[in-house]
Amino acid sequence: MKVEVLGEVDQKIGEFFKKMAQVEESDSPQLVLTDTFKDDVSFQVVIGKDNKAEFYACGNLMACFEKIDENFQALWAFLKAYLDRDGLKSGLTSTKWARKIISSILQAMVVLMEVEDKGGFSHSQRVAKLAKKMAMKLNLTEKEQSLLVEASMLHDVGKIGIEQLMMFTPTRIRILEDMPRDHTIMGSIYLSTIEFLWDLVPPVRSHHERWDGKGYPDGLAGEEIPLFARIIAICDYYDELTHFVTSEWGVGPKKKDEALKMVEDQSSKMFDPKLVEVFVEMMNSNQDV
């Protein structure tokens, strides 16, 4: 989805919508954020000075939200679901449309929770972009590509509740130590309670399993690990190597060549060896990633 800002729209709001639109390429119509209603714009969100954010489709008012930060996740989810539905023909009560709303709200929460890079992308957005490129390299169908991107955006959804626990509980240090294992389980629990999102449970639960069977939470090995989880695992590892300053990676983010060497070193250990070959070839042949 492409987002354009016209007029004197609050900069914070404009940046939020542009950021959310950056990852998933789609054929959705362009969305325009405006400060006043415009007759020649098909899909627009009018954010005026009257404390309202109104969504118009082809001149008709479709939704109105109070203009507060807490509502923009829900407004984004509504807009994305509305503009992405099949040719704008599926009903507003369809399960597909409901799924898009729920998934989009969760994705927005994840993005707002995560550290961003200089370009405005969060960790999960960067992982999703890499996974999308891998999916294309593997000749997955458009439907599979879309599902993989969605799973990549939500692979760390389980960290939302855990990070809240770390902030507000006296046992936050213990929680922090357990978090790497806990977030895969928490994420799968979140998604399994939402019938529309059951197909995302396996990759979210299993993206920290290892090819050699030494991963978590279930000790799966080889092709027991879902394909999407194996793809996300490599993209997740590479992104953490190249963007995060943490104790696991030593003195700071790695350069591209260093990170690719570390990925290759984990072939047949952490990662599916065939997927490692695909990932390394993809990264070496594309200077934009």
Q: Residue 194 burial (CB < 10 Å; 0-12/13-18/19+)? A: middle
Which pLDDT score, from 0 to 100, does residue 182 have?
79
Which pLDDT score, from 0 to 100, does residue 276 have?
98
pLDDT in tens, 171-208: 555 555 555 577 898 889 888 888 889 999 999 999 99
User: Maximum Cα–Cα distance for the chain, whole Å?
Assistant: 60
Which pLDDT score, from 0 to 100, does residue 149 have?
94
Which pLDDT score, from 0 to 100, does residue 231 have?
98
Which pLDDT score, from 0 to 100, does residue 259 have?
94
Which pLDDT score, from 0 to 100, does residue 175 have?
52
How many residues belong to the chain?
A: 289
Which pLDDT score, from 0 to 100, does residue 193 have?
85
- In this structure, are strands 52-57 and 43-47 parallel, antiparallel, or unpaired? antiparallel
What the chain holds in terms of domains, given with CATH numbers, is: 1-93 (3.30.413.10), 114-289 (1.10.3210.10)
Which pLDDT score, from 0 to 100, does residue 287 have?
62
Cα Rg for the chain, rounded, in angstroms? 20
Cα dihedral 55, 57, 58, 61, rounded to 10, equals -50
pLDDT < 70: residue spans in the chain: 22-28, 70, 85-94, 115-120, 161-180, 244-251, 287-289
Confirm if 75 and 45 have CB atoms less than 8 A apart: yes
pLDDT in tens, 15-26: 778 777 766 556
Q: What is the CB neighbour count within 10 angstroms for residue 241?
A: 22
Which pLDDT score, from 0 to 100, does residue 148 have?
96
Q: Is the pTM of this model over 0.75?
A: no
Give bridge partners of residue 61 from the DSSP assignment: 56
